[in-house]
Amino acid sequence: MFNVNDSNNHRVKALSTTRTGGVSLAPYDSFNLGDHVGDEQLKVVTNRQKLTAAVNGQSIQWLNQVHGDRVHELTAYSAKPYTADAVYTRLDNQPISILTADCLPILLAAEDGSEIAAIHAGWRPLAAGIVVNTLNYFQSPATNVHAWLGPCIGPQKFEVGAEVRQQFVLNSIDNEQYFEKQSDGKYLANLQGIATTTLQQLGVIHITRSPYCTVSNPESFFSYRRDGQTGRMATVITKT
């Protein structure tokens, strides 16, 4: 696990996990936090308990992610995951989280620490407008929102078809720069680049990006594109 520090506001704390430090066995070795990938449930529970301890023992709100554009506004913790691909809250001492294994995790926090959000920004949610849908919940102006873009599949590893490129270019011609055509007619796509431009177009100016590619770092990160059957990392944010 490593801490995320992109704001001077100490009311907001965030972390992103790696694949190490847990109890799961291969191919989920070892800190798998996904309970839907075929891992032994007891091992997932143990790993989640370890993560909960890292956020001061506070119960983490999980989501049932479906690669859509729905945002859940969290007003009360639920042991049952809400079906959504982003979660927004103004609750104090309530960690919220999303799971990834190549998709882009995005954390948002108001400058004053009053509101936070976590976004599962795979290409489908990103193309469908998950970022603007989440920002629409914020009462703070976008210029006062800090964004952190976590580890994800990098621009040299994310090959997509022309139909994916077309969706993003239709959303904004500025996205054209994030697709590099290959000899077989497919494209290499830059998820972090697309998300950065999307945030900037919406008025967000405080943006920090992780340099890590999940596919290229098998010792540190799970990767669905690389391994197929694999675990999930968690990206967590909370405020006091």
In order of their start, the domains of the chain are 2-152+207-239 (3.60.140.10)
pLDDT band of 224, cuts 50, 70, 90: very high
pTM: 0.95
pLDDT band of 56, cuts 50, 70, 90: confident
**How confident is the model at residue 201, as a pLDDT?**
97
Inform me whether the pLDDT recorded for 65 exceeds 90.
yes
For 122-134, give one letter per residue: b (16+ CB within 10 A) or e.
bbbbbbbebbebb
CA atoms of 47 and 32, how far apart (whole Å): 7
Nearest to 100 by CA among 226, 221, 238: 221
Compute the average pLDDT of residues 49-62.
94
35-48 tens-digit pLDDT: 999 999 999 999 99
Residue ranges of alpha helices (H) inside the chain are: 41-54, 123-128, 130-135, 162-171, 191-201, 224-227
Inform me whether the pLDDT recorded for 31 exceeds 70.
yes
**How confident is the model at residue 5, as a pLDDT?**
56
pLDDT band of 9, cuts 50, 70, 90: low
**How confident is the model at residue 1, as a pLDDT?**
62
Query: From start to end of 47-129, where are the E strands?
Result: 63-64, 71-74, 82-83, 86-89, 96-100, 104-110, 116-121
**How confident is the model at residue 158, as a pLDDT?**
97
144-167 tens-digit pLDDT: 999 999 999 999 999 999 999 999
Give the sign of the dihedral formed by CA 199, CA 200, CA 202, CA 208. positive
CA atoms of 136 and 133, how far apart (whole Å): 5
Chain mean pLDDT for the chain: 95
DSSP state of 59: P
pLDDT band of 4, cuts 50, 70, 90: low
